[in-house]
Amino acid sequence: MIRLTTEMAQQLVEFVSGETGYNMIVCDTEGVIIGDRSRERFGVKHDGSVRIMRGEADSVAITSEEAERSGGSMREGYNIVIKVDGERIGTFGIGGPLETVKPIAKIASAVIAARIKEMRHLSLISEVTGQISSTVERTVAAIENIYAGSEELNAANMNATKAVAATVAKIQDTNQMLDFILDVADMTSLLGLNATILAAQAGEHGRGFSVVAEEIRKLGKKSSASVDKITAILEQMQSGIAEVSANSEKTAVISEKQFLATQQIASDIANIKASIDALNSMAQQTS
């Protein structure tokens, strides 16, 4: 909590004294003088200020008659409480004719109270902006991590899309190879059939060759059946990969949007932090 300081008290005393020519003092919460035009009574307790700070009165006036009767121990003047939000934070005293110095004392007391209140508000603003700045810094750090992760995810999705496309291309190459194998199987079956016919024409001499021809025909049929099975499997794989590719493309689009959104959020938060830092700096400079 900001209190009335010696520096502030002395600055005010010197300013008002310079403008009015009257001697004046400022006391703290203990009634001790912390501002003095003559600079001779620092640290001295002022009786009137002590009474005011005890709550016995809000002001103490010394008339010219009272000053004269005191034999020089008192001087004509006016001492008044300085309050901020109902709290007594000190007193302001000024020596001179009461009809002249009383309004000055009241104005000075109000000015000091307003300044203390303003400084307290600025201190609170500085504290709040400091807390917000720390929160924003943590948020920026978190956003940067999300941003980096989003960037990596975006790159990973792009690589996955490329990998899927490459796999589809390889499956197409495999289909071409299977077509070639199927052609070979058909030719093998035809060759076996021709061999069977020739073996039958050869009669007894072609019997052994007929067995070989039959095996060639079986091999051709098995090769053709295997190709059909492989083709069916590849078609299923291609269908699955096409679905994965479509989902991967959707994910890539969403990831790209998230990446751009995160980038924008990071930029906006950085701007907010800069504004908060500027506000905090202004509050500290004003204080």
In a domain, 103, yes or no: no
**Which contacts qualify for 67-75: CB closer than 8 Å, 24 or more apart?**
none
In a domain, 86, yes or no: yes
52, 78, 96 — which closes off a domain?
96
| Pair 220, 276 in one domain | yes
Place of tokens 């504004």: 275
Q: Do 95 and 101 contact (CB within 8 A), yes or no?
A: yes
| Pair 135, 90 in one domain | no
Picking from 83-97, 191-205, 244-258, 266-280, which range would have the lowest pLDDT averaged per residue?
Answer: 191-205
Q: Which DSSP helix (H) or strand (E) runs through 93?
A: strand 87-95
Give the mean pLDDT of 266-276: 76
Query: Strands across the sheet with 87-95, in order?
Result: 33-36, 24-27, 87-95, 77-84, 59-62
**Boundaries of domain holding 244:** 131-286
Residue 142 has pLDDT above 90, yes or no: no
In a domain, 121, yes or no: no
Instruction: Please give the Cα distance from 56 to 194 (Å, whole number).
Output: 133
What was the pLDDT predicted at 103?
93
80, 96, 112 — which closes off a domain?
96
Give the tokens for residue 168.
């589809």
77, 96, 115 — which closes off a domain?
96
CATH for 84: 3.30.450.20
Q: At what angle do helices 98-202 and 207-286 cross, to 10 degrees?
A: 180
| Pair 85, 136 in one domain | no
Give the mean pLDDT of 211-227: 67
| Pair 136, 276 in one domain | yes
Q: Do 255 and 150 contact (CB within 8 A), yes or no?
A: yes
Give the mean pLDDT of 114-124: 82
In a domain, 124, yes or no: no
Average pLDDT across the chain, whole number: 78
The residues that bridge with 32 in the sheet, in sequence order, are 45
Q: Which of 169, 187, 184 is nearest to 227 (CA)?
A: 184
In a domain, 123, yes or no: no
Split at pLDDT 50, 70, 90, the class of 208 is low
In a domain, 183, yes or no: yes
Split at pLDDT 50, 70, 90, the class of 188 is low
**What is the count of structural domains for the chain?**
2
pLDDT digits (tens, 9 = 90+) for 10-51: 988 898 888 888 999 999 999 999 999 988 889 999 999 999
pLDDT digits (tens, 9 = 90+) for 81-97: 999 988 999 999 999 99
In a domain, 107, yes or no: no
What pTM did the predictor assign?
0.53
Residue 180 has pLDDT above 90, yes or no: no
DSSP calls for 246-281: HHHHHHHHHHHHHHHHHHHHHHHHHHHHHHHHHHHH
| Pair 31, 165 in one domain | no
| Pair 43, 183 in one domain | no
pLDDT digits (tens, 9 = 90+) for 230-249: 777 767 777 777 776 677 67
| Pair 136, 234 in one domain | yes
| Pair 161, 266 in one domain | yes
Residue 202 has pLDDT above 80, yes or no: no
| Pair 92, 48 in one domain | yes
Give the mean pLDDT of 242-264: 72
The residues that bridge with 84 in the sheet, in sequence order, are 87
| Pair 90, 138 in one domain | no
Instruction: Please give the Cα distance from 104 to 24 (Å, whole number).
Output: 10
In a domain, 30, yes or no: yes
Q: Do 25 and 33 contact (CB within 8 A), yes or no?
A: yes
CATH for 210: 1.10.287.950
% of the chain exceeding 70 in pLDDT = 74
| Pair 24, 83 in one domain | yes
| Pair 76, 178 in one domain | no
